[in-house]
A and B are shown apart, each in its own frame.
Chain A
Amino acid sequence: MKIAVCIKRVPDQDVRFKIAPDGKSIDQTGLKHDMSDFDGYAAEVAIQITEKAGAGEVTVVSIGSDAVQETLRKALSMGAHKAVQLKHDAEVHDGSAIAAALAAELKDRGYDLILTGRMAVDTQNRSVGALLAAKLGLPFVGAVSQLDTSSGSVKARRELEGAYELVECPLPAVVSIDEGITRARYPSLKGIMAAKKKPMEVRPAQLGEQHYVLESLALPAERTAGRIVGEGPDAVPELVRLLKEEAKVL
């Protein structure tokens, strides 16, 4: 199978973010970057499919500045075969514009399966997968926690709130990947060495029109630490009193 995986480079999320003086971007000081969590799972799913089949090819694609080459290189060291950077230096938030650039790259290249993450963990837009499928005229299955393509079509499971659904569609298709499916592997030393020789193409991103534009960023009010009510089961009556009288949630 010929598989493409769309990967976004995002800042690691386990930090306290600061807003830059322009009021509309994140202060980059000290931030580390990696592929968005779900994109890592998607790359892993794709690599496992080709490993299991002993055939096929995984191409990873990312829109962004030259920094995304590092992220693409990591996917190559996990086991992807080829990488494409769609160069664009400014941040873009419009999912339709991003999908247009990805579609321009992915159309007519014979991909059987195109994977994205369920959402980018930085902007949490959750839009690119479905919009990309629409632009390519392909069926889309979103946010899957299980994926089976062994019968030549897509059989997937989606987690709903307190429920799940099973979905089927023919290939080629666009599928977005959710939690629960797999974890991204750590690149091996051998993988890292091999990745150095794998092809990395660079083309300009042909973004579509933008109708969803970031105006400003703000930090939500900090949570202040509360108090320890007490120790062990003896503290329960006081907790219940507080929930009733102070928090008024009981």
Chain B
Amino acid sequence: MSNVFAFAETRLGKLRRGGIEAVTAARQVADQVDGHVHAMLAGPAGIGEHAAVLARHGADVVLVLEHDGFANYNPEALAATIAARVGSGYRAAFFAASAQGHDLVARTAGVMGLSYASDVTSFAFGGDAATVTHPGYTNKVIQTFRLSATPALISLRGGAVLPVESAKAGAVEAVSSAVDPGSVRVKVTKTEATGGAKLDLGEAPVIVSGGRGLKEAANFKLVEDLAAAFGNAAVGATRAVTDDGWRPHSDQIGQTGRLVSPDLYIACGISGAIQHLAGMRTSKTIVAINKDKDAPIFKVADYGIVGDVLQVLPVLTEAVKKAKGG
């Protein structure tokens, strides 16, 4: 029997969906190797309140690391703590493929001197190796790798597993940091939300995205209004727009921005340059609104409207509100 570790990512005291997905993935592997899921929560006093949610998603034990030195992400102390833990008899450790998860899995692998797999979309364990897939070549090629390091350290792309609830009541175990959280070299001095949409691109089932066709920054209000009408939508943008400073770079979708796969992607005034498509072509349903009927975005869109986005968006927003019953 060997156990499986999951890092339950939080930010500013809130549990993130990627953390629950990591627990779900760990549960799948633990069931296969007849082991237990140990999920870790780290943060300031009070972070342990999320333990019940993790237990419901399959954590047998929730390791709670409460210390004010973890109020902001504390990468070095966390990596040292996780490495010390999973170095003894764990089969695998899962992290979210988020900004924080990418960073932490890499650091943990570094501390342990191990190879690892990042941004994984599917995994299978057999013998002493894991087989994982992760997209490459701007998401245009699916790569299958054999990872023969133990524990198998894996960051999991959002949506790779579907969280399932069970009636588990996991045990809670208080743990402490392997190093003094204050005596680290790398210090996060501030964490701040960039406002705008409440949901982030990695977690939202719907993304409304805007391009240069919106003509000016102020018109992004129309995109935000549509996102708000959905209620479960985040706002994205093209590089043309983030370069012009209409939106922060963290909103950029594409080859050098975020890679997203929501259930619904609505491209508003976006031409559909190959570098943009690289970031969103795996979305389940794509809608495009563009005044140019020959715009390349229509080649990947399931549904298109040819027209002025400034006129179409307010009407669509009202229609969505109505469909949502509000």
Binding site for B on A (CB under 8 A): 11, 13-14, 16-17, 19, 26, 37-38, 93-97, 121-127, 129-131, 133-135, 139-143, 145, 158-170, 178-180, 210-220, 223, 225-233, 235-237, 239-240, 242-244, 247, 249-250
Contact of B312 among A160, A216, A227, A233 (CB under 8 A): A233
Query: Binary interface profile of B, 281-306, with partner A (CB < 8 Å = 1, else 0)?
Result: 11011110000010000111111111
> How close is B200's CB to chain A, nearest CB, in angstroms?
4
Given contacts A139-B186, A145-B249, A212-B149, contact A125 B118 (CB under 8 A): yes
In B52-80, which residues have CB < 8 Å from any A CB? 72-73, 76
> Which residues of chain B from 238 to 254 have any CB-CB distance to chain A below 8 Å in the complex?
239, 242, 248-250, 252
Known: A96-B113, A227-B304. A161 touches B202 (CB 8 A): yes
CA distance A161 to B250 in the complex (A): 7
Q: Which residue of B lies closest to A228 (CB)?
A: B304
Q: State whether B281 touches A215 (Cβ < 8 A).
A: no
B311 touches A250 (CB 8 A): no
Task: With CB as the reference atom, state the residue of chain A lying closest to B254.
Answer: A179
Residue from B140, B194, B305 having most chain A Cβ neighbours under 10 A: B305
Docked-complex contact A168 and B189, CB < 8 angstroms = yes
User: When the two chains form their complex, are residues B312 and A122 in contact, meaning their CB atoms are under 8 A apart?
Assistant: no
> Quick check: B102 and A142 within 8 Å, CB to CB?
yes
Report if B109 contacts A (CB, 8 A).
yes
- Measured CB to CB, the closest approach of chain A to B93, in angstroms, equals 15
| B162 part of interface (Cβ distance < 8 Å) | no
Residue B212 lies at the interface, judged by CB distance under 8 Å to chain A: no
Residue numbers in B under 8 Å from A218 (CB-CB): 141-142, 144
Measured CB to CB, the closest approach of chain B to A198, in angstroms, equals 28
A26 to B141, CA, bound (A): 9
Interface residue ranges, B against A (CB under 8 Å) = 11-12, 72-73, 76, 98-100, 102-103, 106-107, 109-111, 113-119, 131, 134-149, 185-194, 196-197, 199-203, 205-206, 234, 239, 242, 248-250, 252, 255-258, 263-264, 274-275, 278, 281-282, 284-287, 293, 298-308, 311-312, 315-316, 319-320, 323-324
* Given contact pairs A160-B100, A228-B305, a sample of 6 additional A-B residue pairs in the complex whose CB atoms are under 8 Å apart: A139-B76, A211-B114, A220-B282, A227-B302, A232-B311, A247-B302
A16: chain B residues within 8 A (beta carbon): 140
Partner pick for B143 among A162, A211, A214, A229, CB 8 A cutoff = A214
Assembly CA distance A226 to B76 (angstroms): 48
CA–CA, A143 and B103, complex, Å: 8
**Partner among B72, B100, B263 whose Cβ is within 8 Å of the Cβ of A249:** B263
Partner of A179, one of B116, B144, B249, B286: B249
User: Would you call A13 and B115 a contact (CB within 8 A)?
Assistant: no
Contacting residue for A219 out of B117, B140, B319, CB 8 A: B140
Beta-carbon contact of B256 and A37 below 8 Å = yes
Name the B residues within 8 Å of A164 (CB-CB). Answer: 191-192, 194, 248, 250
In the complex, are the beta carbons of A142 and B106 less than 8 A apart?
yes
Known: A93-B145, A225-B298, A228-B306. A249 touches B284 (CB 8 A): yes
Are A213 and B145 in contact, with the CB atoms below 8 A?
yes
Complex contacts, B144 vs chain A, CB 8 Å = 214-218
Give the one of A26, A143, A223 with max B CB within 10 A. Answer: A223
Beta-carbon contact of B188 and A243 below 8 Å? no
Pairs A–B under 8 Å by Cβ, sample size 5: A126-B118, A145-B250, A225-B300, A230-B306, A249-B263
A129 and B105 CA atoms in complex are apart in Å by 12
Cα of A125 to Cα of B120 in the assembled complex, Å: 10
Q: In this complex, what residue of A is CB-closest to B205?
A: A249
**Chain A, residue nearest B76 (CB):** A139
CB of B126, distance to nearest CB on chain A (Å): 13
Q: Which residue of B lies closest to A134 (CB)?
A: B110
Interchain CB contact under 8 A, B315 and A247: no
Q: A211 to B115, Cβ gap below 8 A? A: yes
Of the candidates B109, B256, B264, B323, which one forms a contact with A131 in the assembled complex, judged by CB atoms under 8 Å apart?
A: B109
What chain B residues lie within 8 Å of A214 (beta carbons)? 143-145
Taking the closest CB of chain A, its distance from the CB of B188, in whole angstroms, is: 5
Residues of chain A lying within 8 A (CB to CB) of residue B140: 13, 16-17, 219-220
Q: Contacting A212 at CB < 8 Å: which of B73, B117, B286?
A: B117
Contact status A211-B256, CB under 8 Å? no
A residues within 8 A CB of B320?
Answer: 240, 250
* List of B residues within 8 angstroms of A223 by Cβ: 281, 286, 299-300
- B275 and A13 within 8 A (CB): yes
From B109, B197, B301, B303, contact of A130 by CB (8 A): B109
User: Once bound together, how far apart are the Cα atoms of A99 and B34, in whole Å?
Assistant: 34
Q: How far is the CA of A9 from the CA of B83 in the complex (A)?
A: 32
**A61 CB, min distance to chain B CBs, angstroms:** 19
Cβ A247 vs Cβ B249 within 8 A: no
**Shortest Cβ gap from B259 to chain A (Å):** 8
Cα A170 to Cα B186 with chains together (Å): 8
Chain A residue nearest to B149 (CB atoms) is A211
Task: Check A167 against B264 for contact (C-beta < 8 Å).
Answer: no
Residues of A within 8 A of B146 (CB): 212-213, 215
Cβ of B143 and Cβ of A123 under 8 Å apart?
yes
CA distance A122 to B134 in the complex (A): 12
Q: A217-B141, A250-B320 are in contact. Are A161 and B200 (CB under 8 A)?
A: yes
A236 contacts B316, CB within 8 Å? yes
Contacting pair A122 B250 (CB below 8 A) = no
